[in-house]
Amino acid sequence: MDREVGGRYRLIEPLGEGGMGVVWRAHDRLLDRTVAVKEVRYTGVGDAQRADLNRRTIREARAAGRLDHPSVVVIHDVVEEDGRPWIVMQLVPSRSLAQAIGERGPLPVEQVALIGERVLGALRAAHATGVLHRDVKPENVLLADDGRVVLTDFGIATLEAEPGLTATGGLVGTPAYMPPERLNGEPARPESDLWSLGATLYAAAEGAPAYRRDSWAATVAAILRDEPAPPVRAGALTPVIMGLLRRDPAARMPAGEAAHLLRGIASTTGHAAPSGHPAGPGHPGLVHAGHTVPVPVTGSRPSVGRRLAVPAALVAVAVLAAGGALLAARMTGFPGGNGTPSAATATTGGATPPVTATPAGPSDDSPTAQASATRKPPTGGPSATPAATATAAPAGWVPYRSSAGGFAMAVPARWKVTKHPTRDSVTVRGPGSPGAFIVEWTVPDQPWLGPVRHWQGLEREILGRGEFPGYHRIGIGATTYLGRPAADWEFTWRRGGTVVHVVNRGFRTASGRPFALYWEAPDSRWARDRHYFDTFTKTFTLR
């Protein structure tokens, strides 16, 4: 087809067609790259309603374009031409989860869990900014050739903060994956996307939807009236699937709990090649914030001989939600979780063997060799508030830069920086202290209430669950960090026979990106080792 839209996008061939339009393979002449262009079509409506729908679609596409998550298709541009919107997106060479199910039948449980974790991560990022998807289904989950799992088609998403966007009264979505409240005419909510995710995981694990009937009406009636048939192949996924498929939105499994369970099940995934392609440089596995994790979609169950090792300290990291904070995995995954010290930490408080960081350029895995000569020397004591510009690396420290996290800082020269295998976080540990410093930029699902209120809410949550034996709050106080509102949460708790001391700084960037800077050490060494936290935070800068 020889047609160009927006003065730069030449349509090449259709890639697929759905109820909302056609997706084209196209060439961006300006940037000389291949893209996907979604032509949004509305039929059976008048001119006034069509204009309103066009405005809505453009707003929704722009809202989705603000999302920054490795499992969300990137929206490059929105063009209005011939009286309808054209959404220009990243072209992801892939096959859909629906295709994989159709060709292979039920998929391995660990693989489905890993796919679910990635899709849930995309939904949590969207929900944190007020964007709902409203059409999560296997056809909209892409298993990319490079190993990623990507959620696409936010074209029918709606901003929950803009009720006018849903005033058209249209019911959009695929019946088998639509939650009961939507079929009852109620507005969509984050829990609605969670139900659809549960239905998607059911289909992937069982090989068929939970609600598959002979007609549209029969499917709708079954969702509104019947409980889903208990899965027979889902295994460890069954509690997650059934928890997400609860009819009452308020009773559905929370996103955070589902993410935690999915992560645990997915950790048994082996290293089979993704998407049925042979292993090799072109198919490195699922790339998630700079770390490669395999997502096999072969017909057989992958080997579990090599498990994804989750460094114990990393599970205890604190993170921010939409600019706030969520205590990841409730911090019980530290060595000897639930307060019981492991053999490695019973006497050392969690120290790791000395590891020398090898200067090797601006890597996510090792500090860089040289400090910036333009930074000012450190000033102020441990209580000083870091300025917007980080200080230079002190003697014995070397610069480290994370391209995945978009930050840089100094680390002690012989300390090791380790990227978490599934979360957006790194941990820094080494000789000279049993402490651990963690930087995390994962987006969880809790709303942003301001840094202090957010920490207070999380404190109530973990105490309500009884997850921090001997917890004692030292303080939750507002501060300013890198020119942004922030809060420091300092407390102690007892892990076995050791009192652990923690300080956790939460803030979000001007663009809304969440960060948490977390330091823990045995309370007996707190006065001696607090300077590590102060130096880490003074040298920390956004890139």
- Compute φ and ψ for 516, nearest 5 degrees: -135, 135
Phi, psi (rounded to 5 degrees) for 487: -145, 140
Tokens representing 292 are 């490669």
**Structure token pair of residue 369:** 């060799």
Angle, vertex CA 502, rays to CA 261 and CA 328, nearest 5: 15
DSSP 8-class letter at 184: T
Name the catalytic one among 32, 82, 135, 146: 135
Query: How wide is the angle at C-alpha 436 spanned by C-alphas 68 and 370, nearest 5°?
Result: 70
**Nearest in space to 63 (alpha carbons), one of 127, 159, 140:** 159
CA-wise closest residue to 444 among 123, 73, 195: 123
Structure tokens at 379: 């000033």
What distances in angstroms separate CA 365 from CA 200, 403, 428, 452, one per listed residue?
35, 10, 10, 32
Q: How deeply is 136 buried, as exposed, middle or buried, from its count of CB atoms within 10 A (0-12, 13-18, 19+)?
A: buried
* Calculated CA dihedral for residues 105, 108, 111, 116, nearest 10 degrees: 70
Estimate the share of the chain in helix, then strand, then coil, as percent rounded to the nearest 5. 30, 25, 45
CB 444 within 8 A of CB 256: yes
Q: Which of 459, 468, 446 is nearest to 487 (CA)?
A: 459
Residue 348: alpha-carbon gap to chain centroid: 33
Strand partners, 440: 425, 516
Catalytic residue flag (residue 214) = no
Amino acid identity of 196?
S
Q: Which amino acid is at 351?
A: A
Q: Which residue has the tokens 């998630």?
A: 288
Which residues share a beta bridge with 87?
A: 38, 78
Beta-sheet strand order (sheet of 149-151): 94-96, 141-144, 149-151
Rg (CA), the chain: 24
Positions marked active-site: 135
